[in-house]
Amino acid sequence: MTLSRWLLFKIAVRSFLLQASWNYRGMMSMGFLYSIAPGLDCIYDDKKARELAYMRHFEYFNTNPYFSSIVMGVTLALEEKYKSGDKLVNPEVIHNTKDALMTSLAGIGDGLFWDSWRPFVATLAIVFAAGNYKLTPFIFLVLYNIPHLYFRFAGIYWGYDEGMNVSKKLRQFMFPQIRQTLRMGTLALLAYLIPNHVNLHTPFLLANLRLELFYFGEKVVQGLGALVLVALGTIAYRQEVNVLLISFLLLIFALVFYHWGILI
């Protein structure tokens, strides 16, 4: 029996409730079972076999929620093979595959979304907010959720179609390179924000330039300040300094310069 694309879509929708019954014993186990239950009901006609399948998946489960649908797809594909009598698939294989996937996808997903994508989009939103864009919250929500919804809904089909070979599909995304690019982008935006969205106290320019040239001189100083901060942030990142530490140092930098009267 092959699960319909519509049924897989409904399972992906159910995955939004993955953490609705989060608990310390099984973490996301109840949400995972709730999500794949329609698929198990479709695969197993026999009540006893269905109950056994339910119990197999009422176990510890914890992964990145946005990538959870990938694990669901793979799990249902293996359950289907087990039901059909495939000698290479048994409950132990299903458990081990599910366990390995949830662990690896937790690392990939947390690193991509919590550690890289969310800080980048949040910083970009601050740039829009500094420009008084009223739609900034909407822009943040839309941008942030584009990759989230893509992986959540596409993932269920990848997992089901590819089965245990889904890792080949995921390698195409080059997640380490994406994370590095997003981190660099976050640093660049933070470095841009500090000199361009505070007033630089430049009495030297005011004293030595005509008023019509003063504003141009201020822009030059702001641009140079942003360039220097981006360069320093890039050097620190290439020296493997943690991005959060760099962000904290930028904050200290801004506070110290404010105290000295350079940033006002």
Q: Which residues pair with 200 in a beta bridge?
A: 263
Q: What is the pLDDT of residue 154?
A: 93
Does residue 264 lie in a domain region? no
Does residue 239 lie in a domain region? yes
User: Is the CB of residue 228 less than 8 Å from the CB of residue 249?
Assistant: no
Among 138, 173, 208, identify where a domain stops. Answer: 173
Q: Are residues 15 and 139 in the same domain?
A: yes
Q: Are residues 222 and 181 in the same domain?
A: yes
Does residue 84 lie in a domain region? yes
Q: What is the pLDDT of residue 211?
A: 59
Q: Are residues 165 and 191 in the same domain?
A: no
Q: Are residues 49 and 133 in the same domain?
A: yes
Q: Are residues 53 and 144 in the same domain?
A: yes
pTM of the predicted model, to two decimals?
Answer: 0.75
42-68 burial: b if 16+ Cβ within 10 Å, else e: bbbeeeeebeebeebbeeebbbbbbbb
> What are the mean pLDDT values of the chain's consecutive 10-residue runs (264 residues total)?
87 92 86 92 88 90 92 92 85 89 90 88 83 83 93 92 85 87 81 63 57 64 68 71 69 70 58
Q: What is the pLDDT of residue 210?
A: 64
Write out pLDDT tens, residues 81-93: 988 888 888 888 8
Q: What Cα–Cα distance (Å) separates residue 39 from each residue in 4, 80, 201? A: 9, 9, 64
Among 173, 190, 221, identify where a domain stops. Answer: 173
Does residue 209 lie in a domain region? yes
Q: Are residues 124 and 200 in the same domain?
A: no
The 3-state DSSP class for residue 44 equals coil
Q: Are residues 42 and 150 in the same domain?
A: yes
Q: Are residues 234 and 123 in the same domain?
A: no
Instruction: Give the total number of structural domains in the chain.
Output: 2
Does residue 201 lie in a domain region? yes
Provide the domain limits for residue 80: 5-173
Q: What is the pLDDT of residue 76?
A: 93
Q: Are residues 82 and 148 in the same domain?
A: yes
Q: What is the pLDDT of residue 78?
A: 92
Q: What is the pLDDT of residue 194?
A: 66
Does residue 21 lie in a domain region? yes
As separate numbers, helices (DSSP H) first and strands (DSSP E) second, the chain gives 12, 0
Q: Are residues 223 and 127 in the same domain?
A: no
Q: Are residues 12 and 114 in the same domain?
A: yes
Does residue 214 lie in a domain region? yes
Q: Are residues 132 and 250 in the same domain?
A: no
Write out pLDDT tens, residues 6-50: 999 999 999 999 988 888 888 898 999 999 999 999 998 888 888
Among 155, 173, 191, identify where a domain stops. Answer: 173
d(CA 233, CA 96): 42
